[in-house]
Amino acid sequence: MVLQCTFAISGRKKLCGKTEQKVMKHIEAIDVNAYYGDNHVLKNIDIAIKENTVTAFIGPSGCGKSTFLRTLNRMNDYIDVFHLEGKVLVEGNDIYKKKVNVEELRQKIGMVFQKPNPFPKTIFENVAYGLRIHGEKDKKKIEEVVEQSLVKAALWNEVKDKLKKSAFGLSGGQQQRLCIARTLAVEPSIILMDEPASALDPISTAKIEELINELKQNYTIIIVTHNMQQASRVSDRTAFFYMGELVEFGKTADIFTNPTKKQTENYISGRFG
Amino acid sequence: MSNLEIELQALKENLLEMMELVSKQIALCSEATITGDLAIAKQVVENESRVNALELTMDKDCENILALHNPVATDLRFVLAVLNITSDLERIGDNAKSIAAFLIKNSKKLDKNYIDKYGIAEMYETSISMLTCLSEALKKDDAELARKIFKEDKVLNKKNKNGPKVAVALVEADPKQAKLIVRLLAVVNKLERVGDLATNIAEEVVFHVEAKVLKHNKDKS
C-alpha cells in the first residue's frame, strides 16, 4: 500500500493509510554516523528494534548512547553543530527526510528525561498540556485522556484526589511517573527514556521498572541506563555502545550471561578501562 | 583489582583447596586398600569434616557474591559452576569416607587377589588422574583439559560393568568369603560414582569457560 503522508507511524492512532499488519522492525538505523562539528560521535550504527520490546542502551559516559537515543526523535536538531548521515527509519519511513513534520514525529516518539521535569502547573494540566497544544478543546475528551494516562502511568490512585494541586508537590518518583503520563497522553508508539530512574530511590525505581514492563505491551521502549542490573531487569534486548560504536546488540539474557565480545564482558562485569 | 575480582580469586583458591583435599582422600583410600593400613583409612574419615566445612564455606561465599556483587557473564557462570562443583566434590568425599569405613571394618580380611580381579587399583589410579586433571583445568580455566577426563570415565564404567561377573567368579571360587566379595563390589560402584561426579565437574568447567551446557548431552565436544 502506498503511504499517503509524509510521516507514517502505526500504533494506536493511525496518521495515514498504512496497513494494520504487525511491523516487526519498529525502528531501524542504517549506517548512521553523527557528528558534533568535527567530533565523530556515532560511527556506522546499524540496529533494528522490534516493536513492543524494551531495548536498553548501555555503555560508559560519552559512548554515544544518549546521542543515538536523541537521533531517534530528532532531539539533536536543536544543536547547531549536529550533523547526521545514514538513515533512521521508523516503521520503514526515514524520519530525517525534509518533508517530515518534526512536531508530529515527537508526538509519536515520546521522551522521558533523567530528571523529572514537570511544568509549573497542576497535575491535571501537566498531563493535558500535550493535548491542548495539539489543539484538543473537548473538555470531556481531555479529562478522559488525562485519567487514562495517569492510570497507565500507575499514578492515578495516588493523585486522583489532588489533580488541581501543583505537580511540584509530588515526590520525585511520582513526578517521573507524571512525566510518563504526560508522554502517554499524546499517544506515542515509541517511548525513549534517558536514565529515567537515576535520580530516584529504590522504591520509585522499582515502580518505574514495573511500569516499563507493563507499557511494553503497547509501546516500543528504549531506555538508556548506567545501571547494569536495571538493564538486565527491564530489557528484552541490550545494545552496548563504546566510543561511538555499537559493539554488541542482542538478547539481554545472552548479553549478561554470555556476551560475544570481550569488550562487552569487561564493561558489564565492571572491568572496563 | 575490583572487590568482585578479589572475592572470585578467594573463591577459586578455596575451590582448588577442596579439590586437592578430595583428591588426597581418594589417594589415601587407595593406599589404605593396598597396604591394609587402618590408620590411613581412619585419617580419611577424620578429613571428611574438613571437606564438608569447605563446602559450607563456599556455599556462603557464593551466596554473598551473588547478593552483593551481582556478577554477570563469565563471573556469574563461575559462581554457578562453583556451587555445583562443591556439591560434587562433597559427594566424592562421601564416597571416600564410605570406602574408608569399609576398609576399617574389613581390611584384615581383604585378599589382594580380589582387589586385582576387580581392577580396583587401576580404578583408584584413574580417579586420581581425573581429579588431578580437573584441578589443572580449573587452575588454568582450560575447558579442553577438562574434556580429557570424559574418556577416562569410560575406564571406570567398564570396570564397574564388569564387577558383578567378577564377583560371581570370586564367590564360586571362595563361597565362604561371599559377603566380603559382594561388599568389595560396593567399593567398585563407589569408584565408578567418583568418575561420574568428576565428569559432572568437567562439565561445569566447560560451562564456566565456554558457556556450553554439556549436562545430559551425550556429545561432550
Q: What are the C-alpha distances in Å from A14 to residues A2, A7, A80, A149?
A: 14, 11, 32, 19
Tell me if A269 and B72 make a contact (CB, 8 A cut-off).
yes
Closest CA to B105 of B191, B32, B4, B207: B32
Question: Where are the extended beta strands (E) located within chain A?
Answer: 25-36, 39-50, 54-58, 82-90, 93-94, 109-112, 190-194, 220-224, 237-242, 245-251
Q: Which pLDDT value is given to residue A161?
A: 96
Does B80 lie at the interface with A, CB-CB under 8 angstroms? no
Give the pLDDT confidence of B138-173 residue by residue, as tens digits.
Answer: 999 999 999 999 999 999 999 999 999 999 999 999
Mapped onto helix, strand or coil, the DSSP state of residue A27 is strand
pLDDT in tens, B101-115: 999 998 777 888 999
Please write the tens of the pLDDT for every residue from A214-233: 999 999 999 999 999 999 99
Mean pLDDT to the nearest integer, B186-206: 97
- Answer yes or no: are the C-beta atoms of A205 and A197 closer than 8 Å: yes
Chain A touched by B73 (CB under 8 Å): yes
* A 188-247 → B contacts, CB under 8 A: 228-229, 232
CATH architecture of A27-268: 3-Layer(aba) Sandwich (3.40)
pLDDT band of residue B208 (cuts 50, 70, 90) is very high
| The predicted structure's pLDDT at residue A9 | 40
Q: What is the mean pLDDT of chain A?
A: 89
Whether residue B217 is contained in a domain is answered as no
Number of domains observed in the structure of chain B: 1
pLDDT of residue A270: 86
Q: Answer whether residue A273 shows pLDDT above 60.
A: no
pLDDT given at position A1? 32
Residue B132 domain-assigned (yes or no): yes
pLDDT range class, residue B66, cuts 50, 70, 90: very high
Q: Are A47 and A249 in contact (CB under 8 A)?
A: yes
Q: Are strands A237-242 and A54-58 parallel, antiparallel or unpaired?
A: parallel
Say which CATH number the domain at B29 has.
1.20.58.220
pLDDT at B129: 97
Model confidence at B7: pLDDT above 90: yes
Angstrom distance (rounded) from CA B138 to CA B141:
5
- Cβ contacts below 8 Å, chain A against chain B, sum to 30
State which amino acid sits at residue B160. Answer: N
Q: Do B73 and A232 touch (CB under 8 A)?
A: no
Query: In the predicted model, is pLDDT for residue A23 greater than 50?
Result: no
Q: Do A269 and B70 touch (CB under 8 A)?
A: no
Report the alpha-carbon distance of residue B22 to residue B94 in Å, rounded: 10
Chain A touched by B75 (CB under 8 Å): yes
Residue A135 three-state SS: coil
Tell me the mean pLDDT in the region B34-52.
95
CB contact A256 to B (< 8 Å): yes
Output the pLDDT for position A271.
Answer: 81
A21 pLDDT band (50/70/90 cuts)? very low
**Does B71 sit within 8 Å of A257, measured CB to CB?**
no
Look at residues B53, B82, B43 and name the one whose alpha carbon lies nearest to residue B66.
B82
Q: Are A50 and A26 in contact (CB under 8 A)?
A: yes
Tell me whether B5 touches chain A (CB under 8 Å).
Answer: yes
Find chain B residues with C-beta within 8 A of A230's C-beta: none
Domain span at residue B133 reads 3-210
Average pLDDT over residues B33-55: 95
Mean pLDDT rounded to a whole number for chain B: 94
Write out chain B residues lying below 8 Å of A270, CB-based. Answer: 2, 4
Residue B39 is which amino acid? Answer: A
Do the strands A39-50 and A93-94 form a parallel or antiparallel pair, or are they unpaired?
A: unpaired
Q: Average pLDDT for residues A123-127, to the nearest whole number?
A: 97
Q: Answer whether B73 sits within 8 Å of A271, measured CB to CB.
A: no
Q: Where do the structural domains in chain A lie, given as residue ranges?
A: 27-268
* pLDDT band at residue A47 under the 50/70/90 scheme: very high
- Across the range B175-184, mean pLDDT stands at 93
Give the minimum alpha-carbon distance from A244 to chain B in angstroms, rounded to a whole number. Answer: 23
The residue behind cell 575480582 is B5
> What is the pLDDT at residue B12?
97
Mind listing the pLDDT tens digit for each residue in A77-124?
Answer: 999 999 999 999 999 999 999 999 999 999 999 999 999 999 999 999
Average pLDDT score over residue span A188-209: 92
CB-based contact, B66 to chain A, within 8 Å = no
Q: Cα(A58)–Cα(A252) distance, rounded to whole angstroms? A: 11
Q: What is the mean pLDDT of residues A41-62?
A: 96
A135 grid coordinates: 489543539
Q: What percent of chain A has pLDDT over 70?
A: 91
Q: What is the pTM of this model?
A: 0.80
On whether residue B87 sits in a domain, the answer given is yes
